[in-house]
Amino acid sequence: MELEVYKTDGKKTGQKVKLNKAIFGIEPNDHAIWLDTKQHMANQRQGTSKAKERAEITGSRRKIKRQKGTGTARFGDIKNPIFRGGGRTFGPRPRDYGFKLNKKVKRLARKSALSYKAKDNQIKILEDFNFEEPKTKSYTEILNNLEVADKKTLLVLNDANKNIYLSARNIPNAKVVRAADLNTYDILNNNNLLFVESSIKEIENVLSK
């Protein structure tokens, strides 16, 4: 598959970039996508929920009433879970929700997601560019020129670029990542993927291992 290369003003440069079929043209594996997305979202969870159990409640250990002869259920101390203000039974504890996923599965998931985007014509190639200083207006103009300003966009750079990152930071539905940090969730969570020319080779290097 070959795609036109666009300038930042929205015009074509006349050059084309050939996408590697082994990365952008495979038969997508939905299960691998599901696993990788599940792991990504699980890793975002803080896992800090905590409820006090019976042993952690401050209160007297004195027995509330005698064991027998009251005609009601037996009660222990005031920290009993059935009392208001008592400890919680089997409450949440801090935990790590993350889980292991093989590198080959994660690689297959990213290839599958990129293949879906290529099939749906949701990938655009930009010539390499840079900003002399962070300027949100400049980045907005690029999105308008490419006619994707009203959609969720993900710009993939070859390497970190502070000026471009800061320019896009305050724009709703616009995100900038390095090619090495590209993940399945971000690929699928955005309507259009914008790759600078140099990032395509980096993507191929990362996913061809």
Domain positions in the chain: 2-46+101-207, 51-91
State residue 203's pLDDT score: 92
Report yes or no: 155 and 175 within 8 Å, Cβ to Cβ.
yes
pLDDT band at 10; cut points 50, 70, 90: confident
Which H/E stretch holds residue 202? helix 197-207
What backbone phi and psi angles, to 5 degrees, belong to 89?
-80, 125
Which of 3.30.540.10, 2.60.40.10, 3.40.1370.10, 3.30.750.24 would CATH assign to domain 2-46+101-207?
A: 3.40.1370.10
pLDDT band at 208; cut points 50, 70, 90: confident
pLDDT band at 75; cut points 50, 70, 90: confident
- What pTM was estimated for this model as a whole? 0.83
The stretch 98-120 carries a mean pLDDT of 95
The stretch 113-133 carries a mean pLDDT of 93
Confidence check: pLDDT of 74 > 90: no
Which H/E stretch holds residue 204? helix 197-207
- In tens, the pLDDT along 37-50 reads 999 999 999 999 99
Q: Which residue's entry shows tokens 């969720």?
A: 152
Closest CA to 195 of 136, 137, 118: 118
